[in-house]
Structure 1
Amino acid sequence: MAKSNIPKRPTRDEFELEELGNQLVEAKEDKDVRVLTVWGEAEKVRGRITVLDSRTRLVHVEDNCSIRKIPFLDIMRVSYA
């Protein structure tokens, strides 16, 4: 069998994931525009965090009346716009 050439998502420990979760909660509560670095995407995602869905583990980001749903584990970094 041939090996897959798709790079795997970097692993992070529970402390990094907890810190990321805290940053996302803070961004949702502040209703500020944030910039998300998403694994596997060349461009950064910019917008307001509207929903943190714990059941599906998706983060809903709204920008210009469109909503993107990004898997929590794909978010590498949250920064201010």
Structure 2
Amino acid sequence: MAKVKAKRPTRDEYVLEELGERLVEAKDEGTTVQLEVWGWEDQVKGVITYLDSRTKLVHVEYNGELTKVPFMDIMKVSNAE
């Protein structure tokens, strides 16, 4: 997935907290989500398998393929259609 060189938009703590809550809820329920990731051309779709607080990476698995997404780069979380 190609990455774009630009400054990441800043978000306040409330937006980040809500985003984190949605990720935890999706992980606990095992729902398939679609993540809009800053700087990535493609959206990431799959089930959240692990939230790594040490590296701040969200592990998303789809069709046996694991993608690790930096939490701070996630712009939007939605249910996959």
TM-score, length basis structure 1? 0.91
Asked which structure has the greater CA Rg, the reply is 1
Equivalence for 1:12: 11
Q: Deviations over 1:52-73 (max 9, x none)?
A: 0001100000001011111000
After TM superposition, list the pairs within 5 Å mapping 1:47-66 onto structure 2. Answer: 47-66=46-65
List gaps (5 residues or longer) in structure 1.
1-5
- Structure 2: distance between partners of 1:47 and 1:60: 9
> How much has 1:42 moved relative to structure 2?
1.4
> For the residues of structure 2 that align with 1:44 and 1:80, how far apart are their CA atoms?
12
Q: Which runs of 5+ in 2 are unaligned?
A: none
Secondary structure at 2:28 match in 1: helix
Post-superposition CA distance 1:20-48 (Å, at most 9, x none): 00000000001010000000011111000
1:1-81 matches, within 5 Å, as: 6-81=5-80
The Cα of 1:7 is off from its aligned counterpart by 1.5
Using structure 2 for the length normalisation, give the TM-score.
Answer: 0.91
CA–CA distance in structure 2, aligned partners of residues 24 and 41 of structure 1: 19
Q: How many residues are matched?
A: 76
AA at the equivalent of 2:70: P
| Structure 1 runs (4+) greater than 3 angstroms displaced | none
Identical columns (%): 59
